[in-house]
């Protein structure tokens, strides 16, 4: 079977499944061995403070994603948010960049695992690559539910190992601890902010959650809770680990040689007494899980984004093909890309350099994704705030309450923009060029797609065409009105009934009339759908912002309706009689149906 008609996958993931799948995608231990090591190197004994700040900054964007996840529960995540709230083209561009981000981010952790395992055990990197890739592809092809089950047990074992490291490090320091304080442990401003940048790279596993929303039970609640839980859980665990290592370095006066390729893992080997080698090899083995978990988490996110873009025709529709609710073509394509990219890069550069290249470029792409996501919430929050203000008298503080989502999104956008600009400026120009080139290619493809899929208007100037045009001039707007198809609302109608009426009549907007049946505005279905459920259940039409209606007389020509729809870029027109009362509405579809019913004459 190719799948169901609804265009969605079966909802099988619980909060527990989603949490462990995305938490595993964060690659907890590998994050500490890489990003955490950079944070310690830059911030020194203030590294735990840097970790806390980085986690809080990530949390701001996470809360913004949570707000959007309550409104959109289908697959696609960030692509869907932009597609539904901004525009089809921005949706395509967002999906294009997200696929780039999630693919490279997952492969960055894979490369990091290959580097650590091949360095510690002195195994050929290609063999390590095969050991990691084969089970990952098998789990991906079998479905996200099975992947989440593997993630649950793998994460539980790895977190237990990390807790053991923390506890034993405290034993080695005889319980001595310290308080991070930039006033005591001096650090340059540049290193401090750069350390925050690396700290923000750790609790980012939540980036793989929203694309699988279509397979999550009770997605409106579960997705948001998972996002916050992963950020806080990952941030707290990373902070504790970084503090334990920093504390051990301080209390035991450990000197880290500059030639250490893996400073944290070398500390485990050389400074954990007689158990050092156990922790040393244990950490290396644990990174096997990290590599597999990253591929599972971000592989699922990539394939689900491809699936949704295929279903929406943003990408070729064959990506939406599924067997038993498994998007097999999207998953197979993702698996092939996951195999080819690292193999090609390992041929020219080492696994260590591959990790740095892919990690840096994907981080830039991730910041861009969050900037677009914040823009989606900015638009929703601004509309929501204006609508709430229109309800009546407001105090100064009520403005902050009404525009809370807008303020949150603006804050997240500013943080993402500043970090993105700073990162792009500070990193190797070659990496920034690759990132920007990918964005430009996406914009070009978006324009080409728009041109190719657009049906050109080819005027028929034949004798037959002229007769048809003359016949159209004899068709009035009243002839195009379809009985029972108009969606007319009053200010006192509930939002729930208004939404149900528009959906049942398959229209994207409705005409709002006053007590004298005069058209006073147009209400859009999307504005209702963007509201939280409790506002839909309790709100009235007069609570909403309605837009100025575009009227047309029932006796006007149908060609006038075409012109008004085009000039005003509206989906519906209010049809009025000679007294100015609204007697119905006409949509673009109604006009096309009436035009299509004009028969071409039989010519001799």
For residue 424, CA distances in Å to 72, 191, 294, 360 come to 31, 16, 24, 9
Report the distance separating Cα 260 and Cα 246, nearest Å: 16
How is residue 557 annotated by DSSP? B
Q: pLDDT value at position 90? A: 87
Longest dimension (CA), the chain: 105
Contact 561, 591 (CB under 8 A): yes
Report the distance separating Cα 343 and Cα 321, nearest Å: 28
Contact 384, 70 (CB under 8 A): no
Q: pLDDT value at position 302? A: 94
Q: Report, in angstroms and rounded to the nearest whole number, the Rg of the chain calculated over CA atoms.
A: 29
Q: pLDDT value at position 259? A: 59
Report the distance separating Cα 401 and Cα 385, nearest Å: 8
What order of strands is seen across the sheet that includes strand 572-576?
A: 551-553, 572-576, 582-587
Q: pLDDT value at position 604? A: 43
Tokens 């948001």 — which residue? 224
Q: pLDDT value at position 89? A: 84
- Reduce the DSSP state of residue 573 to 3 states and report it: strand
- Reduce the DSSP state of residue 167 to 3 states and report it: helix
Tokens 């780039």 — which residue? 100
Instruction: List the structure tokens of 229.
Output: 């839980």
* Residue 430, burial from CB neighbour count under 10 angstroms (0-12, 13-18, 19+): exposed
Q: pLDDT value at position 126? A: 94
Tokens 């002839």 — which residue? 479
Closest residue by Cα to residue 289 from 111, 154, 123:
154
Q: pLDDT value at position 366? A: 87
DSSP 262-279: SHHHHHHHHHSGGGHHHH
Q: pLDDT value at position 597? A: 61
Q: pLDDT value at position 458? A: 46
Mean pLDDT, consecutive 10-residue segments, the chain of 604 residues?
Answer: 54 90 87 83 86 90 89 86 84 92 92 91 92 92 86 90 92 90 78 77 83 88 91 92 91 74 80 87 89 91 92 87 88 94 93 89 89 88 75 65 85 87 81 91 85 54 51 73 85 90 87 91 87 83 88 86 83 90 88 65 46
Report the distance separating Cα 108 and Cα 354, nearest Å: 7
* Residue 220, burial from CB neighbour count under 10 angstroms (0-12, 13-18, 19+): middle
Report the distance separating Cα 584 and Cα 597, nearest Å: 20
Closest residue by Cα to residue 381 from 413, 407, 411:
407
Cβ neighbours of 296 (radius 10 Å): 27
Report the distance separating Cα 384 and Cα 367, nearest Å: 25
Q: pLDDT value at position 504? A: 83
How is residue 365 annotated by DSSP? H
């Amino acid at each position: 079977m190719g799948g169901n008609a609804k265009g969605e996958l079966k909802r099988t993931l619980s909060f527990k499944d989603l949490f462990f799948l995305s938490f595993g995608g964060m690659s907890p231990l590998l994050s500490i061995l890489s990003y955490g090591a950079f944070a310690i190197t830059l911030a020194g004994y203030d590294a735990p403070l840097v970790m806390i700040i980085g986690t809080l900054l990530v949390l701001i964007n996470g809360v913004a994603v949570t707000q959007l996840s309550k409104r959109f529960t289908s697959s696609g995540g960030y692509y869907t948010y932009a597609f539904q709230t901004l525009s089809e083209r921005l949706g395509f561009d967002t999906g294009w960049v997200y696929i780039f981000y999630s693919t490279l981010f997952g492969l960055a952790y894979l490369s990091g695992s290959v580097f650590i395992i091949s360095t510690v055990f002195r195994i050929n990197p290609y063999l390590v690559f095969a050991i990691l890739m084969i089970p990952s592809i098998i789990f991906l092809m079998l479905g996200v539910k099975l992947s989440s089950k593997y993630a649950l047990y793998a994460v539980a074992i790895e977190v237990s190992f990390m807790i053991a490291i923390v506890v034993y490090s405290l034993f080695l320091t005889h319980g001595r601890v310290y308080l991070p304080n930039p006033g005591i442990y001096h650090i340059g401003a540049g290193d401090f902010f750069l350390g925050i940048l690396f700290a923000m790279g750790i609790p980012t596993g939540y980036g793989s959650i929203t694309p699988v929303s279509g397979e999550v039970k009770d997605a409106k609640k579960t997705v948001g809770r998972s996002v916050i839980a992963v950020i806080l859980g990952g941030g707290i665990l990373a902070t504790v680990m970084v503090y334990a290592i920093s504390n051990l370095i301080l209390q035991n006066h450990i000197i880290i040689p500059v030639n250490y390729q893996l400073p944290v893992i070398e500390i485990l080997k050389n400074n954990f007494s007689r158990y050092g080698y156990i922790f040393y090899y244990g950490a290396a083995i644990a990174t096997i899980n990290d590599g597999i978990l990253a591929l599972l988490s971000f592989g699922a996110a990539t394939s689900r984004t491809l699936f949704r873009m295929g279903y929406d025709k943003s990408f070729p529709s064959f990506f939406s093909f599924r067997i038993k609710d498994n998007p097999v073509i999207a998953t197979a394509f993702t698996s092939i890309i996951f195999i080819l990219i690292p193999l090609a890069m390992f041929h020219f550069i080492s696994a260590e350099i591959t990790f740095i290249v892919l990690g840096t470029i994907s981080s830039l792409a991730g910041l861009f994704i969050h900037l677009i996501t914040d823009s989606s919430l900015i638009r929703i929050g601004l509309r929501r705030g204006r609508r709430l203000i229109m309800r009546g008298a407001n105090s100064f503080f009520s403005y902050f309450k009404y525009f809370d989502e807008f303020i949150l999104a603006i804050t997240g956008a500013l943080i993402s923009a500043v970090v993105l600009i700073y990162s792009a400026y500070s990193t190797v120009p070659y990496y920034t060029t690759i990132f920007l080139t990918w964005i430009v290619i996406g914009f070009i493809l978006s324009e080409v797609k728009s041109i190719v899929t657009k049906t050109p208007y080819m005027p028929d100037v034949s004798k037959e065409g002229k007769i048809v045009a003359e016949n159209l001039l004899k068709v009035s707007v009243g002839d195009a009105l379809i009985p029972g198809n108009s969606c007319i609302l009053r200010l006192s109608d509930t939002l729930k009934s208004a939404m149900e009426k528009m959906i049942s009549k398959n229209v994207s907007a409705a005409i709002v009339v006053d007590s004298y049946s005069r058209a006073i505005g147009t209400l859009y279905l999307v504005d209702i759908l963007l509201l939280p459920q409790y506002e839909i259940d309790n709100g009235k039409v007069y609570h909403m912002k309605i837009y100025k209606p575009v009227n047309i007389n029932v006796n006007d020509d149908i060609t006038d309706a075409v012109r008004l729809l085009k000039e005003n870029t509206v989906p519906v027109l209010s049809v009025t009689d000679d007294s100015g009362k609204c007697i119905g509405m006409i949509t673009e579809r109604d006009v096309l149906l009436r035009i299509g019913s004009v028969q071409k004459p039989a010519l001799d």
